[in-house]
Chains A and B, each alone.
Chain A
Amino acid sequence: EVQLVESGGGPVNPGGSLRLSCAVSGFTLSSHGMNWVRQAPGKGLEWVASISTSNSYIYYGEPVKGRFTISRDNARKSLFLQMDSLRAEDTAVYYCARSSENYGGFFDLWGQGILVTVSS
């Protein structure tokens, strides 16, 4: 089955760190750019970070630049998001999303999401 499954979320104190993982199955991870998108409670979608197939291109949204790091391990079929210096405003459901293989401008497959709660 083609799917993305996020893990690693949960509660964390402000200033703390968390590492999210996204396990890929049913398709070849190395053929796709990958992304993280988040959604604060009751709010809209916000793009967080993207990584190209060969790690040549990595981009971050302004709110997380310098604090979050996206990475991938194609052999382990996994995508990661290292989140440091977490703030209350980082509280959200974090989705792993796959970029289309032939044109990377949109997200054609999404995980179910994982909740990150930053609170003391």
Chain B
Amino acid sequence: SYVLTQPPSVSVAPEQTARITCGGDAIGTLSVHWYQQKPGQAPALVVYVNTDRPSGIPERFSGSHSGDTATLTIDRVEAGDEADYYCQVWHSRSDHYVFGPGTKVTVL
């Protein structure tokens, strides 16, 4: 089965930049999507197809994709960005959706 990896946690000071990585075998050939989940809430899509943002998501959230790693970048981090972030792909070879284990972002 296909496996995605993420760092368990990332800590960042307000107004700084947070980078959350997502690794997987040949992930560069897949479309990567990112979700934000705040405590007690359902997940919400923040980036889709590697780099696109749904309407209503601030430009501070951006995605990139290179080699075996996808990255979610949050610029000018705010206290309200504290949440768990998950990457996700559709793995066509197994007909499975796969989520990464999640990264907890803490704003210092």
Contact = CB atoms under 8 A, between A and B. Distances in A.
B65 interface: no
Contacts of B71: none
Interface string A49-70: 0100000000101100000000
Interface string A21-56: 000000000000001010000001111001000000
A105 B91 CA distance: 9
B79 interface: no
Given A100-B48, A103-B49, A108-B48, A62 B1 contact: yes
Nearest to B98: A47
A105 B90 contact: yes
B31 interface: yes
Interface-centre pick from B1, B44, B45, B102 (highest chain A CB count, 10 A)? B45
Interface string B12-50: 000000000000000000010101010000111100110
Contacts of B89: 105
A62 B1 CA distance: 9
A111 B102 contact: no
B76 interface: no
Nearest to A109: B45
A62 B91 CA distance: 14
Contact of B99 (A45, A50, A59, A113): A45
B42 A106 contact: no
Nearest to B48: A106
Interface of A: 35, 37, 44-47, 50, 59, 61-62, 95, 100, 103-108, 110-113
Given A59-B95, A95-B43, 18 more contacts: A37-B99, A45-B37, A47-B97, A47-B98, A62-B1, A100-B48, A104-B90, A105-B49, A106-B31, A106-B33, A106-B48, A106-B90, A107-B35, A107-B45, A108-B48, A110-B42, A112-B42, A113-B42
29 contacts: A37-B43, A44-B84, A44-B86, A44-B100, A44-B101, A44-B102, A45-B37, A45-B43, A45-B86, A45-B102, A46-B99, A47-B99, A61-B96, A62-B96, A95-B43, A106-B33, A106-B45, A106-B48, A106-B88, A106-B90, A107-B35, A107-B45, A107-B88, A108-B45, A108-B48, A110-B42, A110-B44, A111-B42, A112-B42
